């Protein structure tokens, strides 16, 4: 078994997003980036349930009932990295997607449908914050979204063939999926194919959509769920940002504000080990408060107040079972 230091912490520090300043920047080049050819499988981490290494992702029987389009979180976070967007063939980021994001995040949905995970020229973390927004941040975000849009359009035109769709993403991935929902699903014909959108680790307000609504039961379809995880009892400095945001209980998937330890289906820990009945939650004013998980070497969690990097892995089995449940209800 790998050590906690080399596997678990390393894996999820890649997924950390926390407000920071003092980044180095380059001047943003306003020239529109060339479009990515998503007909090439080299631009997909996972395509049709097969990852870039040729491995099958998910249960072959269950994954044939729907499609899952997953967008991964920000991995371009180094303060010394002056790039606004990652190249599509960035070997470090693409390797991290396959090594950490796919097994610890995307696979949570892989038993519910054929998994699709496009590589994209994601924007640097700083692009979301002042003073970088108007220095190139907004343009970098747009460039990243255009890749996601291009990948989805290719998928929709060449692969989907009218099948039910799950959208799932974390952090930056969820932010881009919000826009994708607005542009392709909200009040449009494609909304009839939407099983659910899992917009995890991003602020979602109900007024951001016209027709799409938050889902308030575990079998409801055609809408979205969202949550942002924090240590129970802790309010972040930027708490006001989350007030009034949609906060789904990812254990009961209904209006329950609290849960019991016994209700938790399972946390995906390091070495792909599942730990059921290891935490409880409380929905609190736009936040999801999470108890200190009852897992080996949990003292690592005790140092954290923001559980953002664990938004999905904390509820891996809960998500897995719920995604299957919603697909079966949809069909």
At residue 31 the predicted structure's pLDDT band, cuts being 50, 70 and 90, is: low
pLDDT tens sequence across 79-112: 999 999 999 999 999 999 999 999 999 999 999 9
Question: What angle in degrees, to the nearest 10, is found between the helix axes of 172-184 and 137-155?
Answer: 60
Q: Is the pLDDT of residue 149 over 90?
A: yes
- Averaged pLDDT, 298-323: 93
Residue 36 and residue 61 in contact, taking contact as beta carbons nearer than 8 Å: no
CATH classification for the domain delimited by 31-227+317-330, as one of 3.55.50, 1.20.120, 1.10.3470, 3.40.50: 3.40.50
Domain range list for the chain: 31-227+317-330
Confidence at residue 11, expressed as pLDDT on a 0 to 100 scale: 41
pLDDT tens sequence across 9-27: 344 344 433 334 456 666 6
Selected residue with higher pLDDT from 29 and 123: 123
Q: State the sign of the Cα–Cα–Cα–Cα dihedral 291, 73, 25, 148.
A: negative
* Residue indicated by tokens 């796919």: 102
- Averaged pLDDT, 141-146: 97
Confidence at residue 8, expressed as pLDDT on a 0 to 100 scale: 37
Q: Is the pLDDT of residue 300 over 60?
A: yes
Q: Is the pLDDT of residue 1 over 70?
A: no
Q: Is the pLDDT of residue 308 over 70?
A: yes
* Residue indicated by tokens 């897995």: 320
> Phi first, then psi: what are they for 91, rounded to 5°?
-65, -35
Residue 214 and residue 223 in contact, taking contact as beta carbons nearer than 8 Å: yes
Confidence at residue 33, expressed as pLDDT on a 0 to 100 scale: 77
């Amino acid at each position: 078994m790998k050590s906690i230091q080399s596997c678990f912490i390393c894996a999820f520090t890649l997924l950390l997003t926390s407000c920071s300043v003092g980044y180095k920047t380059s001047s943003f080049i306003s020239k529109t980036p060339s479009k990515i050819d998503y007909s090439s499988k080299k631009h997909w981490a996972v395509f049709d349930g097969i990852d870039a290494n040729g491995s099958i992702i998910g249960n072959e029987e269950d994954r044939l009932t729907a499609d899952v389009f997953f967008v991964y979180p920000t991995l371009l976070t180094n303060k010394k990295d002056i790039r606004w967007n990652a190249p599509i063939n960035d070997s470090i980021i693409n390797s991290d997607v396959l090594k950490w994001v796919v097994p610890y995040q995307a696979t949570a949905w892989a038993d519910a449908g054929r998994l699709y995970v496009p590589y994209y020229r994601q924007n640097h973390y700083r692009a979301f914050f002042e003073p970088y927004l108007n220095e190139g941040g907004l343009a970098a975000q747009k460039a990243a979204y255009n890749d996601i849009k291009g990948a989805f359009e290719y998928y929709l035109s060449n692969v989907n063939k009218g099948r039910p769709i799950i959208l799932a993403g974390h952090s930056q991935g969820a932010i881009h999926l919000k826009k994708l929902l607005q542009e392709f699903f909200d009040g449009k014909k494609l909304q009839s194919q939407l099983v659910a959108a899992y917009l995890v680790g991003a602020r979602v307000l109900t007024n951001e959509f016209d027709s799409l609504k938050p889902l308030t039961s575990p079998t409801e379809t055609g809408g979205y769920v969202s949550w942002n995880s924090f240590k129970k009892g802790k309010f972040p400095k930027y708490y006001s940002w989350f007030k009034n945001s949609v906060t789904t209980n990812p254990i009961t998937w209904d209006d329950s504000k609290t849960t019991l330890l016994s209700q938790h289906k399972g946390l995906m820990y390091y070495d792909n080990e599942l730990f059921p009945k290891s935490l409880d939650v409380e929905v609190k004013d736009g936040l999801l408060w999470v108890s200190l998980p009852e897992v080996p070497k949990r003292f690592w969690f005790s140092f954290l107040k923001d559980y953002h990097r664990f938004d999905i892995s904390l509820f891996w089995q809960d998500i897995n079972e719920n995604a299957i449940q919603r697909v079966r209800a949809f069909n």
